[in-house]
Amino acid sequence: MRPHARQSAHFSQQSRPAQAGCGLAKRCGGALTRGPEALPAGFSRAVLGLLVGFCAGSAAFAATLAITVQLPNGHSLAGAVVTVHPDGAPAHPAPSVAAVMDQVDRAFAPDLLVIPVNSTVEFPNSDSVSHQIYSFSPAKRFQLPLYRGKPYAPVRFEQPGVITMGCNIHDEMLAYVLVTDAPFFGRTDATGSWSAEVPRGGYHVSIWHPRIRDEAKDLERNVTVDEPNGGNLTLRLLKTLKPAPLEGRPHSWDSY
């Protein structure tokens, strides 16, 4: 994922696209970096040739999938969440992570987390005032009664979906946790772009953003990632964005 100036360190760590599921490249890389001199005496040139050929072949399976999200007027939409599932394959989520969503100056920080299913999120309160945070979203309903510091264990998110976070004391506090079972995901940068190296094949791409008004079906596309051109997709929204939910509170999703 390309760096995005407005993302917090937490977010950047959690939103990096998952690595392609081909562990082969890593294993091949490891074998090759030892060099032929490290191979057993009986290891023939033919076998080495095969190994090199095999690795070159597997490397060719990775190509760039590049997504661009645009507003109806052609301007780019930064901060949109992109999730990418391979066609016809069983769900193969990215490895789970331990994420943190802090509370600073009566705001969640970061205000949007994208995490693989079964990840945990810790919700410390770094303010001097107490917060009582909650989610009524079907994918994860929970509440952490009035607290400061970090008295509670991290919360585990087992189901994919969008979870809206609020605080019972401060109505202006708003954040989202997007839980995905996709192997590849991230957020568009300031130019509305996101890309990842993926094995070639067919993919299903979905877009999400808190202010998008378009229907879900208009936010999904199929794209084929091929050699040598990879796969490119530009998705232009049909409808203008909803107004920013909290005027005057700077958020990663409202500067358009």
Residues in contact with Cu ion by CB under 5 A are 131, 167, 169-170
Distance in angstroms (rounded) separating the CA atoms of residues 7 and 124: 19
Distance in angstroms (rounded) separating the CA atoms of residues 216 and 233: 17
> 61 is written with which tokens?
């399976």
Q: Of 169 and 238, which CB lies nearer to Cu ion in the complex structure?
A: 169
Q: Of 169 and 216, which CB lies nearer to Cu ion in the complex structure?
A: 169
DSSP string, 12-25: HHHHSPPPPS-HHH
Beta carbon of residue 126, minimum distance to Cu ion (angstroms, whole number): 12
Q: Of 131 and 187, which CB lies nearer to Cu ion in the complex structure?
A: 131
Q: What is the dihedral of CA 65, 256, 242, 105, to 10 degrees?
A: 100
Beta carbon of residue 129, minimum distance to Cu ion (angstroms, whole number): 7
Beta carbon of residue 54, minimum distance to Cu ion (angstroms, whole number): 56
Q: Of 126 and 222, which CB lies nearer to Cu ion in the complex structure?
A: 126
Q: Of 200 and 249, which CB lies nearer to Cu ion in the complex structure?
A: 249
Residue pair 223/231 in contact by the 8 Å Cβ criterion? yes
User: Which residues lie across from 206 on neighbouring strands?
Assistant: 83, 220
Beta carbon of residue 174, minimum distance to Cu ion (angstroms, whole number): 11
Distance in angstroms (rounded) separating the CA atoms of residues 46 and 212: 56
Q: Of 126 and 159, which CB lies nearer to Cu ion in the complex structure?
A: 126
Q: Of 204 and 249, which CB lies nearer to Cu ion in the complex structure?
A: 249
> 240 is written with which tokens?
């203008």
Residue pair 245/174 in contact by the 8 Å Cβ criterion? yes
Beta carbon of residue 128, minimum distance to Cu ion (angstroms, whole number): 12
Q: What angle do CA 164, 170, 176 make, to 5 degrees?
A: 15
- Give the phi and the psi of residue 33 in degrees, each rounded to 5: -70, -20
Beta carbon of residue 112, minimum distance to Cu ion (angstroms, whole number): 18
User: Which residues lie across from 81 on neighbouring strands?
Assistant: 187, 208
Q: Cβ contacts of residue 208 below 8 Å, gap of 6+?
A: 80, 81, 83, 162, 178, 219
Beta carbon of residue 106, minimum distance to Cu ion (angstroms, whole number): 6
